[in-house]
Chain A
Amino acid sequence: MTTLAMPGEQEAPDATPPAAAKKRKWNRTSIAFVVPAAVWLGLIVVYPVVATIRYSFFNESGSSFVGLTNYKNLFTSDALLTAFRNNFIWVVIFPFFVTFFGLVFAVLTERIKWATAFKTIIIMPIVFSTTASALVWSSLFDLNPHVGALNALVETVSDWFNPPGAYPVDTAAGQTVASLASSGVRVAPGSNLRSVAVVRPGGTVRLGLVGISPATLQVLEAEPATLPKAQPGAVTGLVWRDFSPSHPASRTGVFRDEDGLPNLRLSLLASNGSSVASAVSDRHGLFAFTNVRAGAYHVQIDSSNFRSGFTGVFWLGTQSLTPTNSVGQTAQALLSVPLVDMSMIVTYLWIWCGFAMVVLAAGLASLDRAVLEAARMDGATEWQTFRRVTMPLLAPVLTVIFVTMIINVLKVFDVILNEPPGSSQEGANTLALSIYNFGFTGGIHTGLASAIAVILFLLVVPVMLWNLKKLKQPSNG
């Protein structure tokens, strides 16, 4: 795509200085100077552009003319509509935020000590290769909190407010508290587990659970389960891992290689369902509620024991931020806003904010201080000065940044190729990446790739021309 965008960018050297413009007589010397450059430009710019446009009307291998078929496919295939949608999301979100943050940093660095150090840090990412940045952010966004810094942060905060239980269920894998109940236990409202049998003081209960990880038991220093002994005036019982490696198919019985479940919080429920006592199981899985009044009770294993911890946000996944789960595939391609797009936009902001900041800081530095002083003298607050004086004066620079960034993200490519996992590639696809995928890897389809390139070119051209016009204005006026 860079090649296609070049004719515009190359116009500047063609502009003849005003003095020379008077005598436009072509003499041999001037032709001799122009020809090598013209030939070169023709070879690397004009020819590829023309060839690309020509190819876009041809089939996969460029051997036969297919008319507008490629363009028709372009707007009907879900995969390419996804690419269009993603480009749209990028263009709507990215230029605004990069300009915004660039401005914030530019204004802030005007007022702080160590401004140069600060600016250096902000601009540093632009020195790194985009691929390297994308890979770094790919691991920052990793699903596993032990790898991804962002999920580690969320995990810390989440565990603070919502500590996981001693036996967290694996909600990510669809494990439920109900699936843990094995013998003598049933599910009660609120994801609590409750003894099936009614127990009276002096009686015992045995509550068997399955799906308990041996690793968890090791951490909790569990000991082999032992049968509970009845005590007068007390409800005693056992909670144990009802899974014996030596008798894997046999439940209910308490085998020697079955461990008790330590640290489980239990409640004694009266017949009206209210909790009258609580207990915690020991290393052998034994527990006791003492001094229990006569009556019929149930023992409950509280759901808090199984509360699952934070399992990680799949930042680089294609789950949509808009509710599009129930709509058709094409509608999904058009309307979904995948989370991975947002994550990549954050990465790209990190890369480009420094650039925006530097350009805007230069703009700020060249502002007429007298105007700002005058505003302040007239009693304008800082905010008013910024809003009514600085912003309008900076408007041309802001526009240039904004428009440059629109062009920049229309072509966005390397972040998408490198940051999301393969499973998110299709949902994170953009036009520029599709050109690469169709044109250079896998199912090579020169015609389709060229058609996408042409469309992308058409999208970039108006923005580019407008930008050029804006850039020329100051010198003209």
Chain B
Amino acid sequence: MNGRETHRSTLRTRIGTAGAAAAAALTSVTVVAGLLGGVSSASSVPPAARSAPHKIGGSVSVWGEWTSTEQTAFEAALKPFEKSTGITVNYSGKGSNMDTALEAAVSGGKPPAVAFVPDPGTLRVLAGQGKVQNLGPVIGSLKNNYGDAWNELASVNGKLYGVWFKAANKNTVWYNPALFKEAGISSTPTTWQGMLADAAELRAAGVTPFSLCTDIGWPVADLWQNVYLKTAGARNYNLLATGKIPWTDSTVTRAFNVLRGLVGTPSFLFGGTQGSLANKYPDCVDKVFPKAGTMPQAAMVIEADFVTSEITGNSPNYNAGTKGKGGAACTANPAQTPCYDFFPFPAPKGFSVNSGALQGAGDVGMMLTATRQAKALMKYIATAQPGEIWAHLGGFTSPNKKVPLSAYPDAVTRADAQELTTATSFVFSLDDLQGTWEPQMWQDMLNFVKTPTAANVTSIEKTMQSQATAARAKSGK
């Protein structure tokens, strides 16, 4: 980090602190929001804020799920905060154990001051128990930083308890632009029917349309959930997730039937039905975006945005977007100018109202102990700066509207981030919210891929309903 950048960031944090002071004086939440909104542009610094640095000092303990390279990136994102406030951040990466570790720490009475959880359910449970601090009085409204969908997910009974930091988008269909071009497809599909028409087009051009990652259950569940969200909407999605809509509901059947148009057409799938059942993740991604030396074997893979690391890991040649470096045309051959791009998972015709509904995942930050240091950190997290830093480092998309799109390294990540920030509603993966019967749900989904018939759908739905009921009866919800 060079001197100039450090200087800039110090200024920014000072504004934040000044803003808090102002809030204390005026007891007006809107003023804080206004100040926070202006944080990312250094030009709007009022002269009064340019006072001598006021260092808070001390330390704050932070837990999150990020380890290894992600941990390094997260710590880099907090560096300016540490420098300007003199607060030492003691970060501890808990990996996939984050939720359990936090629950244990909370019931043991020694929770970290700040925690980032990959599940808003945990936030809601802890908020219900009064273990998480209300952030309203600390940072005010975040209306200008996040879309309503995000703030609602982090609020309980109208009170804000969390600040979203990192998000993943599952509303993506990744395609190889060169293969689309070979099939004469000039623009990406915007409806489910359009996508299937393009698939037929690809078939006529001799290109296998889809590589389905259906050797295991979770990718099928993600795919089905996308279809359900697009056909039934976020409200029904949440009702289904919590058992208020049964699995035998007509909306469920409709989603299965829509998906049958794809899964039930073996000629659209790499290796047909059997080949799909043996198509391992992440090999299924490599079928569309292969390493140099092999040609792509399918044009599209329906997966979350985290597959980009697999794609770029296959070859550094891969260009994000539909053009190579210097505007060169994309090639199917990964040794030349291979490209990758995505289009938003399309809603079927007549369901465009749900186009902005996104399925994904994200980490929400919350404050468990209201120390001065923790409060300062929460304020910093809500600003654009930490997200901007991590975005530069790559492998990061923020739901924060204040993180400028220019911070992202390429057009594809930018489009991905834009989808996230403008989502009209955001839902977490339904299977992850199912608790103990999740593996059974995955098997049921695989069962559907094996035999995608209307009769089988009926029997699968019955099975799912009885499994869900049993699991719910057990957990007492």
How many Å lie between the Cα of A214 and that of B442 in the bound state? 36
**Assembled-state Cα–Cα distance A280/B394 (Å):** 54
CB-based contact A423/B439 at 8 Å: no
Query: Could you tell me if A143 and B204 are in contact, using CB atoms closer than 8 angstroms?
Result: no
Residue A294 interfacial (CB < 8 Å):
no
- A175–B439 contact, CB under 8 A? no
Q: Which residues of A contact B204 (CB under 8 A)?
A: 210-211, 243, 248
Q: Which of A174, A216, A247, A443 contacts B206 (CB 8 A)?
A: A216
Please tell me which one of the listed residues A60, A170, A316, A444 contacts residue B278 in the complex, with CB atoms under 8 A apart.
A316
Segment 184-214 of B: residues with Cβ below 8 Å from A: 184-185, 201, 203-208, 214
Residues of A within 8 A of B446 (CB): 422-423, 426
> Contact partner of A175 among B215, B267, B450, B474, CB < 8 A?
B267
- On whether the beta carbons of B443 and A426 are closer than 8 Å, the reply is yes
Q: Using an 8 Å CB-CB cutoff, how does the interface string of A175-200 with B read, 1 for contact, 0 for none?
A: 10001000000000000000000000
Most chain-A CB neighbours within 10 Å: which of B205, B272, B436, B449? B205
Tell me if A's interface is mostly helix, strand, loop or mixed.
Answer: loop
From A59, A244, A246, A423, give the contact of B449 (CB < 8 A): A423
Q: Is B140 an interface residue (CB 8 A)?
A: no
The answer for the CA separation of A425 and B214 in the assembled complex, in Å, is 13
The answer to whether B205 and A443 touch across the interface, beta carbons within 8 angstroms, is no
Cα(A211)–Cα(B202), bound, Å? 8
Among A215, A244, A422, contact of B184 (Cβ-Cβ < 8 Å): A244
Indicate if A118 sits at the interface (CB-CB under 8 A): no
Asked if B48 CB lies within 8 Å of chain A CBs, one says no
- A162, CB-defined interface residue at 8 Å: no
Residue pair A423, B214 in contact (C-beta under 8 Å) = yes
Q: Is B101 an interface residue (CB 8 A)?
A: no
- Let me know if A174 and B272 touch, CB within 8 A: yes
Is B277 touching A173 in the complex (CB atoms < 8 A)?
Answer: no
Given A243-B206, A443-B467, the answer on whether A248 and B184 have CB atoms closer than 8 Å is yes
A215/B332 in contact, CB under 8 A: yes
Q: Does A18 contact B (CB under 8 A)?
A: no
Task: Give complex CA distance A422, B470 in Å.
Answer: 23
Whether, in the assembled complex, A379 has its beta carbon less than 8 Å from a beta carbon of chain B, the answer is no
Contact A422–B216 (Cβ < 8 Å): yes
**Judging by beta carbons under 8 Å apart, are A170 and B470 in contact?**
no
A214–B215 contact, CB under 8 A? no
Q: Which of B207, B436, B449 contacts A213 (CB 8 A)?
A: B207
Which residues of B sit under 8 angstroms from A244, Cβ to Cβ? 184
Which residues of A lie under 8 Å from residue B473 when comparing CB positions? 60
User: Do B471 and A245 have beta carbons less than 8 Å apart?
Assistant: no
Asked if A173 and B271 make an inter-chain contact with CB atoms under 8 angstroms apart, the answer reads yes
CB neighbours (8 Å) of A179 from chain B are: 267
Beyond A210-B204, A314-B274, whether A444 also contacts B216 by CB under 8 A is: no
Whether B295 lies near A423 (C-beta < 8 A) is no
* CA A425 to CA B459, docked complex, whole Å: 19
- Cross-chain contact B207 with A214 (CB below 8 angstroms): yes
Pair A142/B440 contact, Cβ less than 8 Å: no
A91 within 8 A of B: no
Tell me the minimal C-beta distance from B182 to chain A in angstroms: 5
Shortest CB distance A212–B (Å): 5
User: Considering the chains assembled together, what is the distance between the CA atoms of A60 and B438 in angstroms?
Assistant: 16
A235-262 with Cβ < 8 A to chain B: 241, 243-248
* A173 and B214 contacting across the interface, CB-CB below 8 Å: no
Pick from B217, B267, B440, B447: contact of A174, CB under 8 Å:
B267
Determine whether the beta carbon of B470 is less than 8 Å from that of A443.
Answer: yes
Bound CA–CA A441/B184 (angstroms): 47
Is there a chain A Cβ closer than 8 Å to B437's Cβ? yes
Using A59-B474, A214-B182, A311-B271 as known contacts, list a sample of 10 further A-B pairs with CB atoms less than 8 Å apart, ordered by residue number in A. A143-B271, A172-B275, A173-B266, A173-B269, A173-B272, A211-B206, A215-B332, A423-B216, A423-B446, A426-B443
Q: Can you list 11 contacts pairing A with B, beta carbon distance less than 8 Å?
A: A170-B208, A172-B266, A213-B206, A215-B206, A244-B184, A245-B183, A248-B185, A422-B215, A426-B446, A442-B439, A444-B474
